[in-house]
A and B are shown apart, each in its own frame.
Chain A
Amino acid sequence: MSNKRTVVVVGAGPVGLVAGLALKKRGISSVVIEAEPKGRPRPGSRAIYIHNATLKLLESIDEGLGFEIARNGVVWPIKRTIYKGKEVYVRNYGVTDTSDPTTLPPFTSLHQNHIESIIYDYCEKAGVEFVWDAPVKEVISEEDGIKVVTEKGDVWEAEYVIGCDGARSVVRETAGLKFEGPRTKDTFLVVDVEEDENDPLPLERVFHYQHPAMGGRNVMFVPFKGGWRIDLQLLEDDNPDEYSEVEGVKKWLPKVMDPKYAERITWVSSYRFHQVVANSYTDEKRRVLLAGEAAHLFAPFGARGLNSGVPDALIAVKGIEKALDASSEEKRREAIEKAANERRIAGLWNRNSSSTALHHLQGNSPEMNLKREIAASLTAIVPKLGRWLDEGPYGPKFGPPELTTKY
């Protein structure tokens, strides 16, 4: 069977959904092809935090989308940073009305499954075309177009492909593009637990440097709608399996949370984070654009993954729209290159920023250990050092001038 569309989006995770929706709203003929069957949970990273800048982008793609995601999440009013049991920073922003229909909140926190479900509903309403259970085998770029070949032998012909197929992207690999960059030395554990709505914890984001009950390991608690994410930074000699098996989690979790949460675990995973960016976000023939985790992988510090994946998708769509209107091959290529270059600059900046955050958190660096220790001791008289400790785990906030979006 042969099918023709102007754009094929590969991958129906949140970034692919955004690309599909943006294309549809712009009237560009497209299809979203997903390897997994519809509704099946996919493995991999799970976002829980959407920045205001991303909410605005989503709202610009389809009116109401940003506001709907906002009101379905939570905004914690208090953030707190604790160093070896001593509070070094606290800030209370007051309660935010996530249902305000006129102003998007500074961020919203809800699980990726929920984010995807909302975006998918908007896709359905808009009439985005999906093909499920169709893993892609390869993309073949040509002078006048591109072919997407599935494992089942179906061939889709298009002018462009947006690769949103994640860390193991077939689009990236078969387009001859490569990830570049290191992997972290530190291992992190991520645990999601379900909230007890009858007796919930106070809504606060809390970061513990060297939690006294966890043998000096860093622990972070981040609320999201209906649950909590707990990030545990393991020490160099820790055996990740001891901490990451569910039974292992049940042993350490009660040391840092009410024991009831040990019976409410919904997800556990351990990571040594890749800090990689594709060597190019487009192929030689300028028929492919990469977006999301097909283009980059960062440690989650600063929530840069999905928050840069959404602009990747939107700018890819805008680049394609411009390319479709181009009056010459040169201008067509230019439009694609511009989109790819801008997003690669963003990818490099986000990667470097999360590396900065990782360096700040590094457990085996005598230099950083002493620096944090001195800073923590001075916070009573130099409160801005408390703020440095609080903000350090998230990396820089402001990007280079080439970016038209925040992340």
Chain B
Amino acid sequence: MSITLIENHASYDFKHERVNQMADRLLNINWYQHVGTIHDDVQNKAEKFLQSLNIANYEIKWISKDEIGNIYDTIRLTNSSLWEALKVLPDRLKEKIDQSGQEEILNEIVYHLPEAVFHEVYKGAFKTFSDESFIRFLVGHAMYISVLACAWELAANINEWGENPFAYLVDILEMGHIPLGSNNQTFYIM
């Protein structure tokens, strides 16, 4: 893994093309810039995300800043079928990555990527939102998506690990919106 500084902007080389492409996307997002607007494509991407995990019977709902309230009441991931699909992924990814001898690259991703993402996410979150607990939520949320999106790319050339569900979440973030999470069978976007 190497890091290049160009005009104080870090560029990471994880020695894996697909991981580098995903990392590059994540590190160049203008986080949360279109929160407060509605864009049909965001809803489409959210649907594709859920479909890629074979999750059906979901309502996708836009939520505004004012409606958020206590984020941990609004988003209760663990009571949903989405979580049942998500929670097993890290272990399965790890197993496949270890089998293919790429655990070193995964270690580099886990070590470098969250911190790299943290700074821009925090900047965007602090600029867009005033609620401290929501800012903390967003930081963790972004790190979670980032690490898993890249881990999936690392495993992606192994049989059966094709379409990256997290790539749809990254699409939504690139559009300046937020795939917040779920509560029961409702998936919230902002």
* A interface list, Cβ under 8 A from B: 367, 370-371, 374-375, 377-378, 381-385, 387-388, 396, 398
Q: How far is the CB of B117 from chain A (nearest CB, A)?
A: 10
Known A367-B126, A370-B132; contact A384-B139, beta-carbon cutoff 8 A: no
Contact segment of B42-50, B107-115, B170-178: B107-115
Query: Is B5 in the interface zone, CB < 8 Å from A?
Result: yes
Q: How far is the CB of B126 from chain A (nearest CB, A)?
A: 5
DSSP majority for the B interface? helix
Closest 4 CB pairs of A and B: A384-B115, A382-B114, A385-B115, A367-B126
Q: How far is the CB of A109 from chain B (nearest CB, A)?
A: 27
How many residues on the B side are at the interface (Cβ–Cβ under 8 A)? Answer: 15
Q: How far is the CB of A100 from chain B (nearest CB, A)?
A: 29
B8 touches A385 (CB 8 A): no
B5 touches A382 (CB 8 A): no
Apart from A367-B126, A384-B114, what 13 extra A-B contacts exist at CB < 8 Å? A370-B132, A374-B122, A374-B136, A377-B136, A378-B118, A378-B140, A381-B114, A384-B111, A384-B112, A384-B115, A385-B114, A385-B115, A388-B118
Q: Which B residue's beta carbon lies closest to that of A370? A: B132
Q: Once the chains are docked, how many angstroms separate the CA of A387 from the CA of B112?
A: 11
Q: Which of A370, A388, A398 contacts B126 (CB 8 A)?
A: A370
Q: Which of A367, A370, A382 contacts B118 (CB 8 A)?
A: A382
A374 touches B135 (CB 8 A): yes
Known A382-B143, A396-B8; contact A371-B122, beta-carbon cutoff 8 A: yes
Q: Once the chains are docked, how many angstroms separate the CA of A396 from the CA of B8?
A: 9
12 contacting pairs across A/B (C-beta < 8 A): A374-B122, A374-B135, A374-B136, A374-B139, A377-B136, A378-B139, A378-B140, A384-B114, A385-B114, A385-B115, A387-B115, A396-B8
Q: Which of B115, B135, B136 contacts A382 (CB 8 A)?
A: B115
A385 touches B126 (CB 8 A): no
Q: How far is the CB of B140 from chain A (nearest CB, A)?
A: 8
DSSP majority for the A interface? helix
Q: Once the chains are docked, how many angstroms separate the CA of A387 from the CA of B5?
A: 17
Provide the B3-24 mask, 1 if CB < 8 A to any CB of A, else 0: 0010010000000000000000
Q: Once the chains are docked, how many angstroms separate the CA of A371 from the CA of B136?
A: 9
Q: How far is the CB of B32 from chain A (nearest CB, A)?
A: 15
Q: Once the chains are docked, how many angstroms separate the CA of A396 from the CA of B7?
A: 12
A398 touches B5 (CB 8 A): yes
A383 touches B111 (CB 8 A): yes
Q: How far is the CB of B76 from chain A (nearest CB, A)?
A: 21
Q: Once the chains are docked, how many angstroms separate the CA of A367 from the CA of B130?
A: 10
- A387 contacts which chain B residues (CB < 8 A)? 115
- A382 contacts which chain B residues (CB < 8 A)? 114-115, 118, 143
- B126 contacts which chain A residues (CB < 8 A)? 367, 370-371
Q: Once the chains are docked, how many angstroms separate the CA of A388 from the CA of B8?
A: 15
Q: How far is the CB of A66 from chain B (nearest CB, A)?
A: 28
Q: Which of A371, A382, A385 has the most CB of B within 10 A?
A: A382
